[in-house]
Amino acid sequence: MDARTSLSPAQRGEVKTRRLLPLLMAMTAIGPATLNILVPALPGLVTRLASDTETVQLTLTLYLLSLAAAQLLLGPLSDRLGRRPVMLAGLTLSVVASLAALAASSIHALIAARVVQAIGASTGIVIGRAIIRDLYERERAAAMIGLVTTAMVIAPMVSPLIGGVLDTTFGWEAIFIAIAAFSGAVLLWAVLVLPETRPASVANAPGMLVAHWRALIGNAKFHGYVLCGALGSAPFFTFLGGGPHVVVTLMGRTSAEYGVWFAVTSLGYMSGNFTASRLSQRFGIDAMIMAGIGFELTGASLTAILVATLPDAGPAIIFLPQLVISYGNGLLLPNAIAGAISIRPQAAGAASGMTGFAQMAVGAASTQAVSILLAGAYSAMPMAWQLVAVVVATALAYIALVRR
């Protein structure tokens, strides 16, 4: 007898939905990959497009801002129109914008194309999470989000290398050909296999969407999960903004050494994601969030202790504790996202958009704050104290809003 015929309907549904995970990972990877793949080509763009460093930098800054802001629109739009049409439209927009960037003859045209590219790429992040919540219950959704968000770690690690090779070998235009090809392949994949997952009750009662959104905004627990996700990710952005200055400027190490150490810390986050995918359903998302906060607080405190007692020990004093922090973030983030989008499953798209926007907004603020704190500093202690502060704020948000 065929093994498939012995499966229950629920088991067959599980097999079918798990087949979507590689597609969801690919869609999620487009945003961070498109952001980072251009980085190696930025110095060359200054001369090739007759511009200056500050203007060229806008191809990253405005991309990131657009990636964050678009989630506030696209999430609710997927609640209203459906996940599939919005996702396909976003992927199409990403392909078209990549081709427009390829044809750009000025830096301003390239910046405009990057903004549109970010809007299209954000659909994979925000709608991918909503699709997971449509398909799975709360704890199971956290496990699946843990697997899917691994793509958001791997993509930034690999894409700069790919971008550097393409820019050196063929020129910066090849980068956008690669992005268009990748986005186009994912678009075709989605056209063939992506189903509509939005709950039928939402589709049949569009007037209820406003009520769902109001319920989200007025729900303290929703705000608690959103803050846990945003503040719990702030240690990563704090380290992202302060780490290069500490290692290269204060410790006198090379940027290549910093890059190697930073890649190692990514293993901590991926390990946390893997653990979340295995244990969230067993212990529940709230327990996993508390565990994540515990690991983050341990790592942040260890950073402060090592910086104070072993200031001349080299990059290890900040990177080894960062492994612990990253592991905690890997535990916390998928569960906080699952909690936020489960408060009102009928408005999972809107909830996903708000959560993604808050995470990026707090991340941008953390990056800027640590840069200011480290200006004129003689050690990594300002960064260490900011790490401790944002983790404590995460714990307070959980206690005050989630546990209540």
Q: How many domains, in total, are found in the chain?
A: 2
User: Would 218 be classed as within a structural domain?
Assistant: yes
User: Would 204 be classed as within a structural domain?
Assistant: no
User: Would 391 be classed as within a structural domain?
Assistant: yes
Q: What is the pTM of this model?
A: 0.82
pLDDT 10s digits, 80-137: 888 999 999 999 999 999 999 988 889 999 999 999 999 999 999 999 988 988 888 8
Where does residue 198 rank: exposed (0-12), middle (13-18), buried (19+ CB within 10 A)?
buried
The residue behind tokens 């700069």 is: 160
* Structure token digits, residue 294: 């515990």
Among 205, 180, 203, smallest CA distance to 86 is for: 203
Q: Please, which residues have CB within 8 angstroms of residue 346's CB and are 6 or more apart in sequence? A: 79, 199, 201, 202, 208, 209, 212
User: Would 136 be classed as within a structural domain?
Assistant: yes
Domain that holds residue 62: 3-198
User: Would 203 be classed as within a structural domain?
Assistant: no
CATH number of the domain residue 325 falls in: 1.20.1250.20
Taking the CA atoms of the chain, what radius of gyration do you get in angstroms? 21
pLDDT 10s digits, 23-68: 999 999 999 889 888 878 888 888 888 888 778 888 887 888 898 8
* Structure token digits, residue 224: 């608690």
